[in-house]
């Protein structure tokens, strides 16, 4: 089984970190194909970055079409997830939806700890749309995404302080790490705090494997019907759908 | 007051229709600047088209920055609304949110009638996010967007049949037209059915005028904080933010 | 366009303050007709005062019928709004619904700061009914309404302290002032805190103007159907409807 | 135990019918004091009638203050309930809240069948506020309230047809009769349909008795704090509170 | 009227305490039959204890079938309530649902104070299912159930501290005691804090009496249809239904 | 990896069918241990059967403790799920929660088709608790569980008719089969209708595998804390917890 993991930002080191995390949990027989977007922002912090990361994401999905059995969008904002599902015929999963669905099997109430305040409500809106609004609180720990790469930044300390607030103020029964860049910290934090700590990259790998194993793919009836054939103009002309919807 | 009305699809005739509707309701002293996206799909039908319309939308907003006091995104899917709000400092409004907010002053329960089934849940999710989920039903009338331009298509008949189902099956107290391409039909349908019929373009003009008159603009605290300075790559490099967030 | 602004309490100085705020934002061509209720409580603090303010409100609407194109109920509790909409054929708007609808275009999450604890849940219930419950928190600042008229009362200090709690404890992205008596403070507070501060009186003026400009009025199908002809007795006999419902 | 049953409309025959129903279920030791409003509409159909019935209701409560241990507002719209709770120190219950709370012990999902379409959303909003929105559907059977008094009106046939739709289309497990004027039909309909049929008058009597027996009364902390002393003007001057809030 | 009060745990002293509380509020003519489960856990703290208390509860209901007119399940977790309602033909009420329904007549917003953290979310889920999620907060006071029997345990102090947090942090307008073992404390706490304090045992007695007086019982249409005849095996074989469902 | 699949009813042929379905999708390296409850009802139809199936379920989990890495409860009602999670230290998943979580990756709106009307609201309440209430409709097809084993029963025809109503009346984008006994029909129905058809048994296997692979297990903080040591009496005495909670 070939799973395409697309990092929708253009920072290859983050792709590599996510690929390592993905390969650490993949089943035997799974192959992780890691791709980095070749157009868009170096990191995704808020709505503007996110919207401009989508063409790069779709470009990777489109160019490699037929070469993968499922795809993962390696950003916790689930950037471009609905568009990706409309585009391709294989299953596509996001980190946020995979992580909260997974944590839902482990705990009644839990907290997502993300990076910047500007991502907090964005993720809260995702969580509500997925249906988990009544069970999940979202917290921001005031860490710029790229500081997660820098041990001297104090980012880990801020993250741990926020997890402790989640446990003692929210009564959280589990923690979800709300950024793809935190993927390497899950196991250690789980050991420290003694509650499940869910990482989105790992969760997404298992959900993608599950869907492929089960012979299930995105419904093409309704919301995710294939794009209708029509002209696309200018810098987006390469994205014009080649076929009519089914 | 200068209001930029951006059509996020690339069909100039739809821009023109929306501009006519906008100018028909604008206040004296308002100037409507109509712009058509120069990159992306010819119409927006579903998530894929919508996502690829956003760069073209943001491009119009960015290039004309400083030349308008508020902006309207002239698509009922509120395409790119969050990204647009993050980008610019003036108010930005969408058609769906303007129309449902407006209808909310007129009726306790109402129905949005849109075009294709693939847009139905997308709009329903928007309506829920805006908070109107408990008061609003969304219906699709099975009309491709561009057929609204063609009197011989039978589109009007389908639309009227769906409005009648809304009135008699949903108990709708008002109707919202769920596509920018229906903007010219509102007044006639209101006369026929004797209930308020709200058009998103007209509603958005008044909401944009209201915000500017009141000296209010998008909060830059939290969700819509200005984009952080960072590299943007490839076809998206022109979108790199020029300044740090405030 | 003639907009009737009715203060449903009997304190003329509060009417005057609201009228000044309304005239400060009205469009050219708008005429604000200010009316003070001639029966009922001197201020509206809680459910009892509110219920007994409604006949006075309806009396003003009824007596001036035909002399205005839209009406504003100048109390943040939206006192008598449903009854007023049933009575007259022109649009009627409340301060709370206007303010939260307006703030909804500016921020994802925001806080209403009102006066007394007894009004807090009342407004929270309104906000939920309008659909904004998931986006809005309501706070009381422990200020009797009439103290807002007295600079020596310390009311402003209490209000500012509560706004600061909203910003730092709730993560509010904008503030709504939850009392008609705070209408003169909005601009200054917006300058101090750097987030949108929405005043209900000003917001209501723009919503009323918008509805009239758009040729829209309250739906008479369902919830707001005109009162049926029937006898009214005693002190209420003057309120008997003169006509059958449409 | 003395329970004051106030009919907030001015039709004495409806008071009498409700009093009969109340006395049929009251405990030994309970005394039902029936009162008819002496000011306001002859029946309550929609928001306008309801708002103008409140002073008459409060007047009965006020004049008899000290002469009853609990009060029932004998209209399914729960007219003036919040104001009544603020005014008096003894428990006050409404028919809608009593009926839906009672039905909630008997069925997971049930339907309220009311009279006119104009009351349907009004009751639906009440039901939501009480928290039962997810369990209850509200239907209107197109019966003017006063036709319930007239055997030749065909009202019973319309009501039965609507109950049958509730059972077969909604999957209702129980029925709530959504008008005080239907109080005499509950037992017969229960026998016909073999599901619980809940009448609001009877339910309210038992809830009022329960609260008095338990030594419980309305909280005076927060929403229902006693009215603050202040001037009331004009036709409402008799309603000025005599005491400061506790 | 005979009301069977079943304590679903096996601790007879807790049954006795609940029976005393029940008899203190019962109507004249009511007879409380107290029964203690003869199989299962000594107290119910969390999901495991609760699930294993159900056969003992159903056993008491089944053996005494015909000897009571209504039943109360004397545990605040409403242990086995749905199964009990399916089994018997007379009304069955739980403490949590009775208490929150009762408190709903007294206050707009209130707080349940229970014992252990492990019961907090369990009760919160019950409260949501009953529809009160938007009005009620649940707090745990860190008291093992059996400590409530021991004056030297400090349990009362912990409980009072939690009630004070409810009043001052949640703005609670009333308090519900969230454990059958607290039933003797309600009156005293109500006197201390001056807000309604609702005990589940007492509330359940009045709701059971109400339903019987009204001639109402559990709907056998849908959710609570009588068990279908089928084999039961092993230790559960005595529970096989004797009759086909109606 | 050893996954214990417990059928909480006592019908071994249903266990066998579920085990076949489970083994058809298990990963290489997974071992499915199938167990049939040895006490309780022959099938689970409604709340009564469900409650009395729990001791048999827990008995299987307890006796085999240490011999499995995760457990599946093979009934769509998720019978005893919370108790099972409290009891054991390894992950436990239910069919309903697994199926709706899985379908949530494939479709925005979908329908669960179950057997009897008495299970419809029960499943609807589960779906709401898991957070999917706004995205999922539940339908009953009026099939007794054991008829699914009998080709001559007409059960398949009823099921297909209900699926067609889901597609054409609900706008369902995918179907979830709401009974463990339908597990062998999923693939064929998916081929017929061209939308994803999700079977709970298969979905649960993949979720259980995922959790074990990720090193995640049920949180023991809060809701699912291990049972506290205490006496259990009578037929339940074997269930007394052997250890104190962690």
Q: pLDDT band for position F147 (50/70/90)?
A: confident
- Answer whether E166's CB lies under 8 Å from D186's CB: no
> Whole-angstrom Cα distance, residue C154 to residue D204?
45
**Interface check E218 vs D, CB under 8 A:** yes
Q: Which residue, among D232, D241, D246, would best test binding to C if mutated, counting the most C CBs under 10 Å from its CB?
A: D232
| Residues belonging to chain C | 246
SS3 D123: helix
**Interface check F134 vs B, CB under 8 A:** yes
- CA-CA distances (angstroms) from residue B43 to B9, B73, B79, B94, B153? 5, 14, 12, 16, 17
- Mean pLDDT computed over F215-235: 96
Give the pLDDT confidence score for residue F244 in this predicted structure. 46
**Interface check E195 vs D, CB under 8 A:** yes
Q: Count other Cβ atoms within 10 Å, centred on residue D157.
A: 11
Chain E and chain F touch, per 3+ beta carbon pairs within 8 A:
yes
**Interface check F31 vs D, CB under 8 A:** no
Q: Which residue, among E103, E112, E221, E246, would best test binding to D if mutated, counting the most D CBs under 10 Å from its CB?
A: E221
Across the interface, whether the CB atoms of F121 and D108 are under 8 A apart is answered yes
Class of domain D2-94+203-239: alpha beta
On chain A, the residues whose CB falls within 8 A of the CB of F196 are: 216-219
Chain B and chain C touch, per 3+ beta carbon pairs within 8 A:
yes
Q: Which residue, among B134, B136, B169, would best test binding to D if mutated, counting the most D CBs under 10 Å from its CB?
A: B134
**Interface check E135 vs C, CB under 8 A:** no
Mind telling me how many Å the CA of E220 is from chain D's nearest CA? 7
Give the pLDDT confidence score for residue C147 in this predicted structure. 86
Two domains, one topology: F2-94+203-239 and F97-200: yes
Across the interface, whether the CB atoms of B108 and D121 are under 8 A apart is answered yes
Mind telling me how many Å the CA of C191 is from chain A's nearest CA? 22
Closest alpha carbon to F216 in E180, C45, A25, D217:
A25
Please report where in the chains the tokens 């039959």 appear, as a residue.
Answer: E33
% of chain E surpassing 70 pLDDT: 98
Q: Which residue, among D94, D219, D223, D224, would best test binding to E if mutated, counting the most E CBs under 10 Å from its CB?
A: D219
Across the interface, whether the CB atoms of A125 and C108 are under 8 A apart is answered yes
SS (H, E, C) E14-31: HHHHHHHHHHHHCCCCCE
- Break chain D into its structural domains and give their ranges: 2-94+203-239, 97-200
Q: Which backbone phi and psi does E31 adopt, to 5 degrees?
A: -120, 125
Lowest mean pLDDT among B177-181, D71-75, F104-108: B177-181
| pLDDT of residue F245 exceeding 50 | no
User: Which DSSP string corresponds to C153-219?
Assistant: G-HHHHHHHHHHHHHHHS--SSEEE-SGGGGGGHHHHHHHHSS-EEEHHHHHHHHHHHHHHTT----
Q: Which backbone phi and psi does F90 adopt, to 5 degrees?
A: -95, 165
Residue C172 corresponds to which tokens in the numbers above? 């509010």
Most confident option among A208-222, B140-154, D148-162: A208-222
The CATH number of D97-200 is 3.40.50.12500
- Answer whether F158's CB lies under 8 Å from F53's CB: no
Mind telling me how many Å the CA of C54 is from chain B's nearest CA? 19
The answer for E 155-194 residues in CB contact with C (under 8 A) is 171, 173
What is the end-to-end Cα distance of chain C in Å, rounded?
25
With a CB cutoff of 8 Å and minimum separation 6, the contacts of C206 are B206, B209, B210, B213, B214, C25, C98, C102
- Mean pLDDT computed over E46-71: 97
Q: pLDDT band for position D90 (50/70/90)?
A: very high
| pLDDT of residue F144 exceeding 90 | no
> Whole-angstrom Cα distance, residue C1 to residue C213?
9
Q: pLDDT band for position F243 (50/70/90)?
A: low
* Helix orientation angle between A200-213 and A95-103, rounded to the nearest 10 degrees: 90
Give the pLDDT confidence score for residue D243 in this predicted structure. 60
- Answer whether A209's CB lies under 8 Å from A27's CB: yes
Class of domain C2-95+203-239: alpha beta
% of chain B surpassing 70 pLDDT: 98
- CA-CA distances (angstroms) from residue B3 to B27, B31, B93, C101, F49? 11, 6, 11, 20, 65
Across the interface, whether the CB atoms of A48 and B234 are under 8 A apart is answered no
| pLDDT of residue E243 exceeding 90 | no
Residue C68 corresponds to which tokens in the numbers above? 């205005």
- Mean pLDDT computed over D88-99: 98
| pLDDT of residue D34 exceeding 50 | yes
> In the A/F pair of chains, how many CB contacts fall below 8 A?
156
Give the pLDDT confidence score for residue C243 in this predicted structure. 60
Mind telling me how many Å the CA of E48 is from chain F's nearest CA? 4
Across the interface, whether the CB atoms of B40 and A233 are under 8 A apart is answered yes
Find the residue in C nearest to E107 (Cα): C121
- Answer whether A104's CB lies under 8 Å from A98's CB: no
> Whole-angstrom Cα distance, residue C4 to residue C19?
10
| pLDDT of residue B152 exceeding 90 | no
Give the pLDDT confidence score for residue B148 in this predicted structure. 86
Q: pLDDT band for position B22 (50/70/90)?
A: very high
- Mean pLDDT computed over A60-71: 97
SS3 E155: helix
Instruction: Considering only residues F146 and B4, tell me which one the structure prediction assigns the higher pLDDT.
Output: B4
E206: nearest CB among D194, D214, D222? D214
Residues paired with residue A230 on neighbouring β-strands, in sequence order: none
Give the pLDDT confidence score for residue D145 in this predicted structure. 79
| Residues belonging to chain D | 246
C40-41 and C197-199 beta bridge pairing: unpaired
- Answer whether E119's CB lies under 8 Å from E190's CB: no
Give the pLDDT confidence score for residue E2 in this predicted structure. 98
SS (H, E, C) A6-70: EECCCCHHHHHHHHHHHHHHCCCCCEEEEEECCCEECCCCCHHHHHHHHHHHHHHHHHCCCCCCE
Which subunits count as partners of chain F given 3+ CB pairs below 8 Å? A, B, D, E
Residue B92 parent element (H or E): strand B92-94
Mind telling me how many Å the CA of B15 is from chain F's nearest CA? 31
On chain D, the residues whose CB falls within 8 A of the CB of E131 are: 104, 130-135
> Whole-angstrom Cα distance, residue F218 to residue A104?
10
On chain D, the residues whose CB falls within 8 A of the CB of C236 are: 39-41, 52, 55-56
| Residues belonging to chain B | 246
- Tens-digit pLDDT profile for residues A9-19: 999 999 999 99
| pLDDT of residue C244 exceeding 70 | no
- Tens-digit pLDDT profile for residues B155-166: 999 999 999 999
- Mean pLDDT computed over C115-139: 96
Find the residue in F nearest to E219 (Cα): F118
Give the pLDDT confidence score for residue F151 in this predicted structure. 81
- Answer whether A59's CB lies under 8 Å from A10's CB: no
Residue B25 corresponds to which tokens in the numbers above? 């309701």
Q: Count other Cβ atoms within 10 Å, centred on residue C210.
A: 28
Chain F and chain C touch, per 3+ beta carbon pairs within 8 A:
no
> Whole-angstrom Cα distance, residue E114 to residue E96?
11
Q: What angle do CA F187, F193, F195 make, to 5 degrees?
A: 75
**Interface check F128 vs D, CB under 8 A:** yes
Q: pLDDT band for position E144 (50/70/90)?
A: confident
Instruction: Considering only residues B176 and F152, tell me which one the structure prediction assigns the higher pLDDT.
Output: B176
Lowest mean pLDDT among A143-157, A199-213, D188-202, E90-104: A143-157
Give the pLDDT confidence score for residue B12 in this predicted structure. 96
Across the interface, whether the CB atoms of E41 and F230 are under 8 A apart is answered yes
**Interface check E228 vs F, CB under 8 A:** yes
Across the interface, whether the CB atoms of D125 and B108 are under 8 A apart is answered yes
**ipTM entry:** 0.96
> Whole-angstrom Cα distance, residue E126 to residue E138?
11
On chain E, the residues whose CB falls within 8 A of the CB of F47 are: 82-83, 85-86, 223-224
**Interface check D46 vs B, CB under 8 A:** no
Q: Which backbone phi and psi does C3 adopt, to 5 degrees?
A: -110, 120
- Tens-digit pLDDT profile for residues B212-234: 999 999 999 999 999 999 999 99
| pLDDT of residue E141 exceeding 80 | yes
- Tens-digit pLDDT profile for residues F76-89: 999 999 999 999 99
Residues paired with residue E147 on neighbouring β-strands, in sequence order: none
Lowest mean pLDDT among B166-180, C15-29, F65-79, F141-155: F141-155
Q: pLDDT band for position D245 (50/70/90)?
A: very low
Which strands, in side-by-side order, build the sheet including E175-177? E136-140, E110-114, E175-177, E197-199
- Mean pLDDT computed over B45-66: 97
| Residues belonging to chain E | 246
């Amino acid at each position: 089984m070939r799973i395409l993991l697309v990092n929708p930002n253009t920072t290859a080191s983050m792709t590599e970190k996510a690929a390592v995390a993905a390969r650490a949990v993949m089943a035997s027989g799974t192959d992780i194909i890691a791709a980095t977007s070749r157009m868009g922002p170096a990191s995704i912090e808020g709505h503007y970055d996110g919207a401009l990361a989508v063409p790069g994401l779709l470009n990777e999905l489109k160019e490699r079409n037929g070469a993968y059995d499922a795809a993962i969008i390696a950003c916790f904002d689930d950037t471009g997830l609905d568009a990706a599902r409309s585009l391709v015929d294989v299953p596509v999963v996001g980190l946020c939806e995979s992580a909260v669905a997974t944590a839902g099997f482990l705990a009644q109430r839990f907290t997502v700890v993300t990076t910047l305040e500007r991502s907090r409500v964005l993720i809260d809106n995702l969580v509500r749309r997925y249906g988990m609004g009544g069970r999940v609180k979202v917290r921001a720990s005031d860490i710029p995404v790229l500081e997660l790469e820098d041990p001297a930044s104090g980012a880990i300390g801020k993250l741990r302080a926020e997890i402790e607030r989640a446990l003692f103020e929210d009564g959280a029964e589990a923690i979800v790490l709300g950024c793809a860049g935190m993927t390497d910290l899950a196991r250690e934090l789980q050991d420290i705090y003694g509650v499940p700590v869910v990482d989105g990259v790992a969760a997404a790998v298992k959900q993608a494997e599950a869907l492929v194993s089960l012979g299930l793919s995105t419904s093409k009836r309704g919301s995710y019907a294939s794009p209708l054939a029509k002209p696309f103009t200018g810098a987006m002309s390469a994205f014009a759908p080649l076929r009519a919807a089914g």
